[in-house]
A and B are shown apart, each in its own frame.
Chain A
Amino acid sequence: MRRLSWFNVTSLTLGFAFLYVPMLILIVYSFNESKLVTVWAGFSTKWYGELFRNEAFLDAAGVTLRVAFISATIATVLGTMAAYVMVRGGRFFGRTLFSGMIYAPLVMPEVITGLSLLLLFIAIGLDRGVLTIVLAHTTFAMCYVSVVVSSRLVTFDRSVEEAALDLGCTPFDAFRSVTLPIIAPAVISGWLLAFTLSLDDLVIASFTAGPSATTLPIKIFSSVRLGVSPEINALSTILIAIVATGVITASLVSKRAIARQRQDQRAAVAGA
């Protein structure tokens, strides 16, 4: 019933144009024939071909995916544990320090996180490579996971857990059979967030990666410093396409889930 005023329509149009036009330009020019990125010279997919023949990029992509997968998985486990401790753990020695360490990495500038971890790895004599990147990414990603999961834990009805305990579950059983299924969506989005943060990270990876392991962002950064390249455009297009597919699918799935839930509720009401 409500109509948007022309001012609001303009704000939305300009705002979303600002957000999306740069990405659209990247996508369009990734199909440019010319090596000169800013001059249109006809449609071509040759840069995608070049990209897939570029061993260095492929290696970096492999490392990045491996790092992201491992660190997201460990971070999800640790972050969920940390969230549970924060919300349900009660009092214990050093709780304030614990919650401080959960929140601090969220606001810590990446350069500082990267620098400090690098100094640690050198101090303990750990060779820099995939392992050190994984450790670094896990540490900052687990904090994001724990924030996502604890926000879900805070909102859900505690009495459900208490009912499980009342029906004879041990606290661990109650967590596994009641709490975990309920917070599962938050745990999954935590994993996705950790995965994306790891895929995305340039600064921390630059500090903690050694000559033996280069991630995709490091590779992109060093080539982008020299200017725009059609291969990077093609790579960007692929990454944007993956993310867009993921986000759109996720929103459709959740939309359908909500619709189904509403339908079920309506059916239940009608049946009653």
Chain B
Amino acid sequence: MSDMTEDTDRLGALRRWALILVPYLWLLGLFLVPFIIVLKISVSDIALAIPPYAPTLDLSQGWQGLRDFLGKLDFENYIFLTQDDLYWKAYLSSLRIAVVATVLTLLVGFPVAHAMARAPEEWRPTLMMLVILPFWTSFLIRVYAWIGILSGEGYLNQFLMALGVIDSPLTILNTPVAVYIGIVYTYLPFMILPIYATLEKMDDSLIEAAEDLGCTRLQSFWLVTLPLARPGIIAGCFLVFIPTLGEFVIPSLLGGSNTLMVGKVLWDEFFQNRDWPVASAVAVILLLLIILPVVLFQRNQERQGEAGK
């Protein structure tokens, strides 16, 4: 009897370890190790070889091999990033685009989320579905749709010229404006949903109470609705800001050569220049840039969770 319990116990423990180890090892091998490789290559030198960097770790030489390997590493690539102004311009430009685009998305998304939360209850699931649907639709296609709209002979220019608003076509495609439009368009659901979630939870009588105590509509919006929507606004802004920083598809399809963004620089460095060490260094810096907002975001989420209790 006790043997059997022991057996099932051992089996249970085994299963528990299998349950932990399988996903654990997978992530170690395919997430952590690759990232360590990136770190390592970022301190290596470019070489005309396959793979195109040096040194490579040669473990057959034993301890000496490791020493040689470590001795050849340096921060040359990072120094190079600070010297060539292409890179820091790209980082700054990415930051600026991400900030401006986040603010624009907020300005477009907030009124929509607010109106959804005010809409009759029986409409809300449908409205939710309409916000989520584009999210499931191919990102690439949604960005692509704007090429036809914004190009010189595109639908927007045709429309505006037909209305007589403009005489000659506007140049929008391949400018930062097109990038902003693309980001606002593709990331809008990420802004709407968290704001809607906080506004929908809000008790209507709070607004009535504010009006009852002498607020005009606008005052009650500023003094009650907006402060209460803050957690949603913060969450939405992070959800737009973080992926936008490393965005590649939108600047490369809509931004043309005028728009510098890190994601695109990294891509070109890797595929066009085949300078893997520099591409890796670009990646490491980009990641450092992203860590700060991610940590702030996590804090916000935790605080929100606590307030929810």
Are A2 and B145 interface neighbours, CB within 8 A? no
The yes or no answer to B8 lying at the interface (CB within 8 A) is yes
Are A12 and B290 interface neighbours, CB within 8 A? no
Are A111 and B263 interface neighbours, CB within 8 A? yes
State the Cβ distance, B219 to closest chain A Cβ, in Å.
Answer: 15
Cα distance, A244 to B136, chains bound together (Å): 9
Interface locus among A155-163, A245-253, A262-270: A245-253
Cα distance, A246 to B33, chains bound together (Å): 37
Q: Which residues of B contact A203 (CB under 8 A)?
A: 248-249, 263, 267
Interface residues of A, CB < 8 Å — how many? 82
Cα distance, A252 to B119, chains bound together (Å): 20
Are B142 and A94 interface neighbours, CB within 8 A? no
Are A217 and B140 interface neighbours, CB within 8 A? yes
Interface locus among A41-49, A51-59, A219-227: A219-227
Cα distance, A232 to B136, chains bound together (Å): 18
Are A85 and B20 interface neighbours, CB within 8 A? yes
Are A92 and B20 interface neighbours, CB within 8 A? yes
Q: Which residues of B contact A188 (CB under 8 A)?
A: none
Are B148 and A122 interface neighbours, CB within 8 A? no
The yes or no answer to A272 lying at the interface (CB within 8 A) is no
Q: A19 with B136: in contact, given A12-B116, A26-B145, A120-B30 (CB under 8 Å)?
A: no
Q: Which residues of B contact A9 (CB under 8 A)?
A: 115
Cα distance, A186 to B125, chains bound together (Å): 18
Are A247 and B144 interface neighbours, CB within 8 A? no
Are A11 and B112 interface neighbours, CB within 8 A? yes
Of B139, B145, B146, B279, the most chain A CB neighbours within 10 A belong to B145
Interface residues of B, CB < 8 Å — how many? 83
Chain A 117-134 residues near chain B, CB threshold 8 A: 117, 119-120, 122-123
The yes or no answer to A69 lying at the interface (CB within 8 A) is no
Are A98 and B118 interface neighbours, CB within 8 A? no
Q: Which residues of A contact B112 (CB under 8 A)?
A: 11-12, 15-16
The yes or no answer to A181 lying at the interface (CB within 8 A) is no
The yes or no answer to A107 lying at the interface (CB within 8 A) is yes
Q: Which residues of B contact A81 (CB under 8 A)?
A: 19, 22-23
Are A227 and B147 interface neighbours, CB within 8 A? yes
Q: Which residues of A contact B280 (CB under 8 A)?
A: 115, 119
The yes or no answer to A239 lying at the interface (CB within 8 A) is yes
Q: Which residues of A contact B147 (CB under 8 A)?
A: 224, 227-228
The yes or no answer to B257 lying at the interface (CB within 8 A) is no
Are A232 and B242 interface neighbours, CB within 8 A? no
- Chain A contact surface mostly: helix
State the Cβ distance, A118 to closest chain B Cβ, in Å.
Answer: 8
Q: Which residues of B contact A16 (CB under 8 A)?
A: 112, 130
Residue from B41, B109, B140 within 8 A of A200 (CB atoms): B140
Residue from A12, A172, A247 within 8 A of B132 (CB atoms): A247
Q: A236 with B144: in contact, given A22-B149, A246-B136 (CB under 8 Å)?
A: yes
Cα distance, A216 to B251, chains bound together (Å): 20
Residue from A98, A136, A196, A251 within 8 A of B129 (CB atoms): A251
Q: Which residues of B contact A4 (CB under 8 A)?
A: 115, 118-120
Are B154 and A98 interface neighbours, CB within 8 A? no
Report 30 cross-chain contacts, Cβ distance below 8 Å, ordered by A residue.
A7-B115, A8-B114, A11-B114, A11-B115, A12-B116, A18-B185, A23-B142, A25-B149, A29-B148, A38-B158, A81-B19, A82-B23, A94-B24, A97-B32, A102-B27, A111-B263, A112-B38, A112-B246, A116-B34, A116-B37, A117-B34, A138-B30, A202-B140, A202-B249, A227-B147, A228-B144, A236-B138, A240-B141, A243-B133, A251-B125
Interface of A toward B, CB cutoff 8 Å: 2, 4-5, 7-9, 11-12, 15-16, 18-20, 22-23, 25-26, 29, 37-38, 78-79, 81-82, 84-85, 89, 92, 94, 97-98, 101-102, 104-105, 107-112, 115-117, 119-120, 122-123, 135-136, 138-139, 142, 146, 170-172, 196, 199-200, 202-203, 207, 217, 220-221, 224-225, 227-228, 232-233, 236, 239-240, 243-244, 246-248, 251, 255
Interface of B toward A, CB cutoff 8 Å: 8, 12, 15-16, 19-20, 22-24, 26-28, 30-35, 37-38, 41, 51, 108-109, 111-112, 114-116, 118-120, 125-127, 129-134, 136-142, 144-149, 151, 153-155, 158, 185, 188, 192, 242-243, 245-249, 252-253, 263, 266-267, 270, 276, 279-280, 283, 286-287, 290, 294
Closest 5 CB pairs of A and B: A109-B246, A15-B112, A116-B34, A11-B111, A8-B115
